[in-house]
Amino acid sequence: MNLKKLGNTEVLVPEIGLGTWSYEGGVEPLRAGIKLGASLIDTAEGYYTEDIVGEAILPFRDEVIIATKVSGRNLAHDSVLRSCEASLEKLGVDCIDLYQIHWPNPVYPIDETMRALEKLVDRGCVSYVGVSNFSVRQMREAQHCFPNYPIVSNQVLYNLRSRSIERELLPYCLDNDVTVMAYTPLDAGRLCRRGDWVLSRIAAETGKTEAQVALNWCVCHENVIVIPKADSVAKTVENCGASGWRLSPEQLRMLEEWF
């Protein structure tokens, strides 16, 4: 499994992680992924999967990077603190490796939210802070209100059919050492159900599956990692096989021109 730096830290994370939105697979697919090196597991208080993630990581806690999120409905100062406490309990851990704001919410002043997050880092409840679904403007504002620590990641929609972040957000994150965590990197499975001839051709050329080609396209970007969800061990193994190799420049060009 190829590794990349998390933001501007020295922490190395796998370029293929494990997503758990709408996850129904139980502990075995997650444990299979961990054994294959997909040691970053992403969850959220709003996914209601923190408990199953906590169960899955019990034999592997020292090997796993846990990423979870505070809901955009709970961004008041004290609500952030309470949400973190509840997540720690459900996950069964003393510290959350990466704690993210699930989505921006203008109802709550961002400086209030970031002060709570700073407090959690200071207390040792959280190692690193990230955001999700933030624009460049929102990232700049959040970082301004969080001067003592870096925002290390932004989790956003990114796949071959959803590429709007390439205009502004992806270059900003690259220039500012922010890891992009791509969710729904297979377009909820639709990418591999359409039978696109380009995906099929490149899968045949590389000896990989269409899903592996689509995931590899994402992680070919320097600061991008992906967190696909897989409810079965077989699909988890397939997703992990998207790492350890690279599409050629010509194959990348074909994909980007077709989609």
Backbone phi, psi, residue 129, to 5°: -120, 135
Nearest to 178 by CA among 216, 198, 207, 149: 149
Out of 47, 108, 128, 183, pick the active-site residue: 47
Catalytic: 23? no
Asked if 154 contacts 178 with a C-beta cutoff of 8 angstroms, the reply is yes
198-206, Cβ contacts within 8 angstroms, sequence gap of 24 or more: 198/254, 198/255, 198/258, 198/259, 199/255, 201/254, 202/247, 202/251, 202/254, 202/255, 205/251, 206/245, 206/247, 206/251
| Distance, C-alpha 191 to centroid of its chain | 19
State whether residue 29 is helix, strand or coil: helix
Backbone phi, psi, residue 243, to 5°: -105, 165
Radius of gyration of the chain (CA): 18
Tell the burial category of 211 from Cβ atoms under 10 Å away from its Cβ (0-12, 13-18, 19+): buried
Sequence-ordered list of residues with C-beta below 8 angstroms from that of 234, at least 6 positions apart, any chain:
none
Number of neighbours of residue 175 by Cβ within 10 angstroms: 9
- List the catalytic residues: 47
